[in-house]
C-alpha cells in the first residue's frame, strides 16, 4: 500500500528492521574514561607509598645478605689458603666495612652501606667486644653481631657464631 500525501521520504514502516540505522559507534564514552582514570589514580595513590616502603626494606635485606655472604667468602678464603690472615673491619662512623690481610696489610676491598640504597647504615657492631672479625684457617671466626638499619626503622642483625655459621634476622617496619 502506497502512502499518499505530501512527503517524498519514506516512513519507518516502509524500511523494515534491517534498514533502520542507529548511530552506534564502538568505543567508550567520555564519562566512562573519566571514571577509569579516577579509579586508577586512587589505586596509584594507595600503592606508591607501599612500593617505596617495600623497596627500602629490599635494600636493607640486600645489604644484610651481602654482609653475610662476604663473611662466608672470607671464611672460605682462610680455609682454602690455610692462613689466619683475613679480617673484616666494620666502621660505624664511616658506614663501611673492609676486608684486609694482616700479613701484608693490604685492604682487598671496602664496601659502603650507602651503596646498597639511601638510608642504609650500620648502627651497632659487637664482635668479641670490637668491630673486627678475624678468620682462622680451621674455619672458625670471631663470634658477634652487626646491626644494620634503614630510614624506616627496620633492622637486620647479621650474627656469626664461633663455628663460622652466619645468619640474618630481620625486623621490618
The whole-angstrom separation of Cα 63 and Cα 119 is: 11
| Mean pLDDT over each residue of the chain, to the nearest integer | 88
Mean predicted confidence (pLDDT) in 73-91: 95
Phi-psi region of 119 (alpha: psi -120 to 50; beta: other; left: phi over 0): left
By percentage, how much of the chain surpasses pLDDT 70? 86
Is 22 part of any domain?
A: no
Contact predicate 148/121, CB 8 Å = yes
pTM over 0.85: no
The per-residue pLDDT for 16 is 57
Residue 10 lies in a domain: no
Query: For residue 141, what is the DSSP state?
Result: B
Boundaries of domain holding 104: 30-171
Let me know the angle formed at the C-alpha of 107 by 90 and 111, rounded to the nearest 5 degrees.
45
The pLDDT assigned to 51 comes to: 82
Max CA pair span of the chain: 117
Q: What is the count of structural domains for the chain?
A: 1
Question: Given this model, what pLDDT does residue 52 score?
Answer: 82
Q: Is 61 domain-assigned? A: yes
Query: Average pLDDT of 155-169?
Result: 95
Is 13 inside any structural domain?
no
Q: What is the DSSP string of 62-118?
A: HHHHHHHHHHHHHHHHHHHHT-S-EEEEEETTTTEEEEEETTT--EEEEEEGGGG-T
**pLDDT for 104-148, tens place per residue?**
999 999 999 989 988 999 999 999 999 999 999 999 999 999 999
Looking at the predicted structure, is the pLDDT value of residue 102 above 70? yes
Domain assignment present for residue 4? The answer is no
Is the residue at 15 inside a domain? no
Does 83 fall in a domain? yes
Tell me if 53 is assigned to some domain.
Answer: yes
Q: pLDDT of 35-70, one tens digit each?
A: 999 999 999 998 888 888 888 899 999 999 999 999
Mean pLDDT of 22-41: 86
Torsion of CA 19, 21, 27, 31, to 10 degrees: -150
Q: Give the CATH number, domain containing residue 42.
A: 3.55.40.10
Amino acid at each position: 500500500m502506497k502512502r499518499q500525501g505530501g512527503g517524498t521520504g519514506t516512513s519507518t514502516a516502509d524500511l523494515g528492521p534491517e534498514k533502520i540505522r542507529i548511530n552506534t559507534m564502538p568505543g567508550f564514552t567520555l564519562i566512562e574514561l573519566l571514571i577509569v582514570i579516577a579509579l586508577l589514580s586512587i589505586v596509584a595513590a594507595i600503592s606508591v607509598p607501599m612500593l617505596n616502603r617495600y623497596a627500602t626494606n629490599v635494600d636493607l635485606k640486600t645489604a644484610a645478605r651481602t654482609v653475610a655472604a662476604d663473611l662466608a667468602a672470607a671464611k672460605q678464603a682462610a680455609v682454602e689458603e690455610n692462613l689466619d690472615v683475613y679480617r673484616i673491619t666494620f666502621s660505624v662512623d664511616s658506614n663501611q666495612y673492609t676486608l684486609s690481610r694482616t700479613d701484608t696489610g693490604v685492604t682487598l676491598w671496602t664496601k659502603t652501606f650507602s651503596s646498597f640504597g639511601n638510608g642504609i647504615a650500620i648502627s651497632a657492631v659487637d664482635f668479641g667486644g670490637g668491630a673486627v672479625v678475624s678468620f682462622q684457617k680451621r674455619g672458625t671466626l670471631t663470634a658477634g653481631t652487626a646491626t644494620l638499619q634503614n630510614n624506616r626503622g627496620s633492622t637486620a642483625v647479621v650474627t656469626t657464631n664461633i663455628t663460622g655459621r652466619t645468619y640474618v634476622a630481620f625486623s621490618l617496619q
